């Protein structure tokens, strides 16, 4: 968290019971959102690199590899949308079903694992895009991330 001057709402929050916990959870939710935004940018960059590689394959008349990369590109594109628009652990101040800090930590751990798998995809695309099995390896990583997103959403939904 950044050090900033307290505003009027922060001062009022000090006297309201439960506000500081809500404020801490809000900071965790914001951190989680920034991580997911970063993940989606990495995924978007991966798609751009794949498109460039496909253009190279077309110029070389290598349509079989281009088709394989198109399947992977579509998976990357879908993954981008899912990460960008995934459910987040939101709970309003007066909600009966507020996510607690431990639950937000669990959600964040899903996102850390997704971030690690995204880094593997990015590294593979940047350094091994010409390797014959790269597209299928990346496709498997996309499926793993998709499963993590599904588990993450189910975890959040049990608290709504």
The band of 92, judged by pLDDT with boundaries at 50, 70 and 90, is very low
The band of 41, judged by pLDDT with boundaries at 50, 70 and 90, is very high
Q: Does residue 94 carry a pLDDT above 50?
A: no
CATH architecture of 9-86+97-157: Up-down Bundle (1.20)
Boundaries of every domain in the chain: 9-86+97-157
Contact indicator for 115, 35 with CB cutoff of 8 Å? yes
Q: How many helices and strands (H and E) does the chain possess?
A: 5, 0
As a whole number, mean pLDDT of residues 78-93 equals 75
């Amino acid at each position: 968290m950044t050090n900033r001057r307290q505003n009027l709402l922060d001062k009022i929050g000090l006297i309201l019971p439960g506000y500081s916990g809500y404020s801490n959870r809000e900071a965790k939710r914001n951190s989680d959102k920034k991580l997911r935004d970063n993940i989606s940018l990495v995924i978007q960059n991966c798609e751009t690199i794949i498109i460039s590689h496909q253009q190279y394959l077309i110029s070389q008349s290598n349509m079989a590899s281009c088709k394989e990369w198109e399947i992977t590109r579509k998976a990357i594109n879908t993954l981008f949308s899912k990460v960008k628009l995934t459910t987040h652990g939101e709970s309003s101040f007066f909600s009966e079903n507020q996510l607690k800090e431990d639950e937000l930590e669990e959600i964040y751990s899903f996102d850390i694992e997704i971030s690690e798998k995204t880094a593997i995809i990015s590294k593979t695309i940047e350094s091994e895009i010409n390797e014959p099995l790269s597209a299928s390896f990346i496709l498997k990583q996309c499926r793993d991330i998709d499963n993590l997103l599904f588990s993450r959403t189910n975890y959040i939904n049990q608290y709504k």
